[in-house]
Homo-oligomer: A and B are copies of this chain.
Amino acid sequence: MTRARWTAETTPLPPHALAWLRDRVGLGEPLPEVPVEAPDSALSEDAFTALEAVCPVSVDAGDRLARAGGLSYLDLLRHRGHGEPAVPDGVVRPGSPDQVVEILKVCVEHDVAVVPFGGGTSVVGGVEALRGDKSAVVALDLGGLSELVSVDPVSRVAVLQAGVTGPEAERMLGEHGFTLGHVPQSFERATIGGFAATRSAGQASSGYGRFEDVVESVRVATPVGEWVAGAAPASAAGPDLKQLVLGSEGLFGVITEVSVRVRPRPRDPRYEGFVVDGWEAGADLVRALAQDGALADVTRLSDVDETEVALALAGSRAGVVKKYLRFRGVKNPCLVILGWECRSRATTMRALAGRKVVRLGGAMGKSWLHGRFNGPRQRDALIDAGVCVETLETATHWSRVSELREAVKTALRAELGDPIVMCHISHAYETGASLYFTVLVPRDLDDPVRQWERAKVAASDAISRLGTITHHHAVGRDHRPWLAGEIGPIGTDVLRAVKDRLDPAGILNPGKLI
C-alpha cells in the first residue's frame, strides 16, 4: 500500500490538539484502510521502448501509485482505498528540456496522454492521471529538471528549471545572495514549474507578488515544438502570451524553464502577532493597509473561528493571551499576522497608529512562522482521527469580501451540519482580497467521499456567485465545472483554440481546466 505523504513523516497532532478536537469538532471513527493496488500498465511495448529511447521510464506499481493524484482530501481518501485513484501507466523521467520535447513527440505518435508531475501537491485534481481518449497515460516527472540555469545579478533575473522545488530554489539562489520569496504552503515539495502552471501565491505575496508577477519568461515544450513566451521586463508587443502559459496547467505544453525576478535575501525578517476586535474591523484594517501602500510582506487576518482554533492549538500560551485580550476589552478576537521581509515595517506601523489594534508581539509571529507548513502536514493525522478536513479559497473585491465569507459559511453549514469553518485573508490587493476557508467536521463513515463532494459543490456555487472559483489552488479537475461559468463560452472557446493549435492530438493533461 502506498500513501501519498507530505514529508517523509507527517506531523502528528499533539495531545492537547486532539483533546480540543474531540471537544469542539467531535472525532469520527478511524477510517478502515483498504489496500490500493495499481492496475496493470496499459502502456504498449512499442510506446515503452520509444519512451525509453529518450529517457528512463518506469512501470513499477509503487512508482505509479506514488503519482496517482495529488493531495486533496479526496485524494487522501483514495489513497486509503475509498474512491478510485487514477493511476498512471508509467512514470517518465526526462533529464532536460530537449528530452521533454522528444517525449511529447513519442506520446503523440503512440497515442499516450501526458500528465506533467512536479511535487504532486495539487489539491484540485490537477495531476490526476486521466487518460481521456488515449490508449494510455504517463506521469511526466520533472524532478530531473533540477538546475539553476543562470543568474543575472545586475538585472536580478534567474532562470530555474521546472523541477526545482521551493527549498532547492532558495538554496541555489541563496548561494548568490538572492531569494525568490515564494513560499506557499506546498513550498516543501512543490516545484517552479508547478508554481507557474497554476499561478501560485506565496504567503508573502503582498511583498513579493504572486508567482505570475515574478515571471519574466517561460520555456515550454509543446507537441508542435518549443516556445519561449515573454522577454522584456515590460512590453507592448501584442498580448502578453506568457500570461497564457501561466495557469495553463499543462494543457498547452510542459513548462521546462522559468525566468524569474529575484531579490536580495532579507537581512532582518520579522513577524509579529496583533489582534483586532471583529472580522469587519480586521478586513477594514487590511484594506486600509493595501490601499495606502502599507502592507507587510505577509499580511494575514484570521476570523474569530480561526483565531479560536489557533489559540486552542497554541497550548499553554493561549490562556495568558486570552486573559490579556479580555483585559484589553477585545470581545471578538481576530488574529493578524504581519511579517516584513522586504517591505518597510515603519510604514505599516505608522498606518496602524490610531487604530484599535492589540499588539501580541514577536512570539505569536514566530509561532505562525514555525507552524506555517503544519496545515498540509497534519492532514493525515486528522484523517486518522476521524476528521473530514479540507480547504477552499477564492478572491473578490473589497465590497463583497464579507458577503462572500458569509455565503460560504452558510452553504457549508447547510451541507455539513455543524462544521468548524475557519476563514482568513492571506493575500490583499488594492481592490480586493483572497478568502481562505478550512473546514473540519466529523467524517461520515457511510459515505465519506460523497459527504465532501456535496459540501464542495455547495461552497463552490456560493464562491462563484461572488468571486473567482480559485485564487491560488488552480482549476484542475475539481473546479472545471465553475471555470466555464467564470470565463464564459467565448473564454472557453479561446482556451480551446489555443489548445487545438498547440496540442492537436490532445495528449496533454486531459480532463483538466476546460
Q: How far is the CA of A291 from the CA of B291 in the complex (A)?
A: 22
Copies held by the complex: 2
Residue of B nearest to A467 (CB): B232
* Structural contact, A490 and B246, CB atoms closer than 8 A: no
Q: Is A473 engaged at the interface, CB distance under 8 Å to the other chain? A: yes
Tally chain A residues at the interface, Cβ within 8 Å.
88
Nearest-neighbor residue (CB-CB) of A231 within chain B: B468
Q: Which residues of B contact A473 (CB under 8 A)?
A: 236
CB-defined contacts of A310 to chain B, threshold 8 Å? none
Task: Give the residue among A233, A399, A488 with the most B Cβ atoms within 10 A.
Answer: A233
A228 at the interface (CB under 8 A from B): yes
Query: How far in angstroms is the closest Cβ of chain B from A375?
Result: 18
A182, CB-defined interface residue at 8 Å? no
Q: B155, B343, B490: which contacts A431 (Cβ < 8 A)?
A: B155
Q: Quick one: which of B233, B468, B475 contacts A432, CB cutoff 8 A?
A: B233
Could you tell me if B490 and A261 are in contact, using CB atoms closer than 8 angstroms? no
Say yes or no: A431-B468 contact (C-beta < 8 A), given A232-B397, A233-B397, A498-B498.
Answer: no
How far, in angstroms, from A493 to B240 measured CA to CA in the complex? 14
Interchain CB contact (< 8 A) of A234 among B155, B198, B434, B500: B434
A161 at the interface (CB under 8 A from B): no
Q: Which of B156, B201, B226, B494 contacts A244 (CB 8 A)?
A: B494
Whether A243 is near chain B, meaning CB under 8 Å from some CB there, is yes
B236 near A245 with CB under 8 A, answer no
Docked CA distance A15–B490 (Å):
57
Residues in chain B near residue A64, CB distance under 8 A: none
- Is the pair A198, B236 in contact by a Cβ cutoff of 8 Å? yes
Tell which of A238, A488, A495 has the most Cβ of chain B within 10 Å: A238
A190 interface residue per 8 A CB criterion: no
Q: Assuming the A-B contacts A156-B291, A243-B244, are A238 and B513 also in contact, with contact meaning beta carbons closer than 8 angstroms in the complex? A: yes
User: Closest 4 interchain pairs by CB?
Assistant: A233-B432, A243-B243, A232-B468, A155-B397
Question: A residues engaging B (CB < 8 A)?
Answer: 152, 154-157, 198-201, 210, 212, 216, 222, 224-229, 231-241, 243-249, 261, 263, 287, 291, 293, 342-344, 347, 394-400, 427, 429-434, 467-475, 479, 483, 486-491, 493-498, 500-502, 513-514
